[in-house]
Amino acid sequence: MAELCDLEAVELRRLIGAGEVSPVDLVESCIARIEAADPAVNAITAKAYDRARAEARAAETAVRRGDALGPLHGLPIGVKDLSDTEGLLTAYGSPLFADNVPVADELVVAVLRRAGAIVLAKTNTPEFGAGANTRNEVFGPTRNPFDHELTCAGSSGGSAVALACGMVPLATGSDLAGSLRTPAAYCGIVGFRPTPGLIPTETRGHGWSPLSVDGPMARTVADAGLLLSAMTGHDPRDPLSLGVDGAAFRALDTVDLGGLTVAFTEDLGFAPVDSRVRRSFRAARQALEPAVGRSVDFAVDMAGVDEAFAALRAVGFVAAHREKVEATPDKVGPNVTANVAAGMKLGLADVASALTVQTRVVRDADAFLSGVDVVICPVAGHPPFPWRDWYPATIDGAALSSYFHWLALAYGPTLAGLPSVALPFGRDEAGLPFGLQIIGRRRGDHAALSAARAIEAWAGQNGFGRAIPQISQ
C-alpha cells in the first residue's frame, strides 16, 4: 500500500478537503520519508518540522470547522534554498550565508503559504544556483536517487530529488539555463519553466531580464499546474509581471494528441547532444510520433544563441555577485567567479549584439510557433554524469566552450522566452530516467502544460511512464 507521501498532490488536496486525510498524518509521512531517504541522497538543507506540525494541526482544525480552504491547503512543500524563508536557514549554497536566517519570506514563498502550503524543508542547490551539479561547500553534494554516484543535475537538484524520493509532494525551483528542467529529467519528475513574468519575483537585480524565472516542480503535470496556480499573480515590484489569474492552471485542458502539430528536433538546430541522448530521443520519437496529428521540421534560426546567452547571463552575474567576488574572493566559488569575470570583459557592443540576437530569436520563434502547437526535444544534451565532475567537458569527444554549453537545449528556449515542460518519458539505455522537453508558445503556458499532460497520459499507457527510484528504508 502506498504511503501518503507518495500520493499525487492533486489527490492529496482532494482527500484533505474531504476530511479523508489529515494534514498531520501527511506531514508525519513526509518527515518519516525524509529521515529514511535523505541520508543517502542529501537533498535537504534545513528542516522546519516543529512549525510544520503546528501548521498541520491548524490546517486540520480548519477543515473540521468548514473554513474556506486554499488550493494548497495542508500540502507540505520543499523550497529551493535560493528563496528566503522566514525563520528557516537560507544559505544559497554559499559559505557567506551559512548562518543566514531571514526575517521574512520571499514573495514566492509567501504566496504559497497564503495558499495553504506548509513549508517542511529547504532543498539543496549549488552556490547561488550557478551550475548544473547540485553541490556546494556548505551542504555537500546531492546525489541522483537512481545511482548515488551520479549527479542529480542542478541547480534545483535538491527539489527534484526530494520529489523523486517522496519526501514532499510539491517543491519550488528556479530556472536560467535549465536549472529546474535538467534535474527534473535526471530524476524522473516534472519541471516547468513558465513564460517570464507569469510568476512575479522581487529578487531579480535586473528587473527587465527574462532569463531567470521561478517555477513549479512536481511528480505529475497536474500537480505542477496546481502549484503554479498559487505561484502565479501580480507584483508591482516585477516590471515583467503579467498579472495572470492562476486559477485556470488547476484545470488543464483535455488535449487530443491526434490534433496536435508537433516539431520534433534532436538538437534545436544548434545544441551539442550526446549520441546516447540522441538514441533515446529517437526511440521516444519513433513511439510517440504516430500518435500526434502532424509532424513538421523545426525551423527557427538559432544562430548566435550560444554567444548571446553567455553574454546576457554574464551581465546578470555581474549585477548580482560582483561585489561579493571583489570583497571576499576566497569565499566565492569558481563558477560564480568565472561568470563575473566573463561579464567584466564584455563591451557595450557585445551586450548590444546579444540583445539584438535575442530579439531576432524571440520574433522568429513566435512566428514559427504560430503554426505549431509544441516543439519536442530532449531536455539535456548529456546523460547523468558522476557527481564529482562539475560538468561534462566534452560531448562525443568534442570539447565544449563553457561549463554550461552542454545545457544549450535548455538555454535556447530560455533566450526565446518560451514556456518549457520537462516531462518524464521512461528510461534511457542505461536504465536512468529520460525526459522530453515540451516547448510551447510564448505566454501559451496553459496550452503547453495541457499538451504535456496528454503526452504524459499516453506515455503511462505505452510503457514510457515515470521512473521511480527504490528508496532505502
Longest dimension (CA), the chain: 64
The C-alpha cell that represents 453 in the structure block: 499532460
User: Is 83 among the catalytic positions?
Assistant: no
User: Is 353 among the catalytic positions?
Assistant: no
HSE toward the beta carbon, residue 356, CA cutoff 13 A: 7
Which amino acid, residue 53? R
The C-alpha cell that represents 386 in the structure block: 558522476
- Indicate which residue of 29, 83, 94, 155 is catalytic: 155
Which amino acid, residue 440? G
- Indicate which residue of 22, 29, 94, 179 is catalytic: 179
- Three-state SS at 298: coil
The C-alpha cell that represents 225 in the structure block: 499546474
User: Is 155 among the catalytic positions?
Assistant: yes
CA distance 258 to 245: 29
- Indicate which residue of 22, 29, 80, 159 is catalytic: 80
Nearest Cα to 136, choosing from 144, 126, 128, 122?
A: 126
Q: Is the dihedral of CA 165, 113, 321, 94 positive or negative?
A: negative
Edge-to-edge strand ranges of the sheet holding 170-175:
44-47, 118-123, 76-80, 170-175, 213-218, 190-193, 420-427, 433-439, 374-378, 261-264, 294-297
CA distance 172 to 436: 20
Q: What are the catalytic residues?
A: 80, 155, 179
